[in-house]
Structure 1
């Protein structure tokens, strides 16, 4: 499909449902000024994350990959007043930008950004017996298969596990590079793991991508 048409369709949907308010626009602008890569979810994806979190009744959310906190804001706004969102970010600079954006959105009381290697932070959460109602994976793609295993350890029956960028403009079909091969393995596990009921929803931006949506249907094995 033509790239221009993809952008037009995405823009049309965003004009109807994107609902970007001042805090969300400011988060994008602050991230640009701070030199963060512009790889955050789109407004349409943000709205979808918000709807899924709200519809699932999530009270505890885990986000793997914070960047500037744009998706964090969408997710945290779906939480009840006593809800909690923990977001894991590798880089302190990114985490600082995200914390400012989250504070501006009035969500600091619900969100904690933890800095460090995601695998180490995930191991800590598992060691503490952490269980989450929704987990959103949007970090380094080569880590996706491992992040999925950690997510299952931190889940309960009914937990939603979401992951961005799982089609990569069709690169997963040929999987000629390391990143695409890792995402392809991740997608295969989603399809075959008996603990999960999953699907990939195509997403339109400047190219076709996808959001994986999985529901844990059995108690994860340790």
Structure 2
């Protein structure tokens, strides 16, 4: 595997996450979506950033406020240039882009997971309900825990997805957590993505 480090992956999409199998079969209701307020920075908000950690692959992600506690698998790019996704049948599994930044080191680390599958809600079903200031913890293979604080939660239509903002290089340790969201169509699935923006504020 060739790691590309803190570089933009602007051509990467996560369309394969967004089929909406549960809704397609009429078994459930749409997941929560972030309000406009969650995407706006707080005036004068402290931007404390913890020192960057050395590279180490992540093993698990926890988001206590929305009851996420899931193992992480490595994700690569498909032959078409899109980000591969975790197996849809494993509801409590997320993935990280293993050719890029590892969570906690300087740069933009990418984590993605399904919002639902044919059986019901999946790992990031409640991601759109996350609030600014919420905690995200990532267990790393070197035994450390990278602790992030959420800066914003936004939803984007697929046709207007801001690649540079989401995937672009960063000068501090940052994390993006991505799932499907926006409008839903029975013919095409979810029409966009929910994206969580967070930065490193501690480690242990």
Question: What is the TM-score normalised by the length of structure 1?
Answer: 0.27
From the CA coordinates, give the structure whose radius of gyration is larger.
1
Q: Which structure shows the higher helix fraction?
A: 1
Structure ranking higher on relative contact order (CA contacts 8 Å, 6+ apart): 2
Question: What is the TM-score normalised by the length of structure 2?
Answer: 0.29
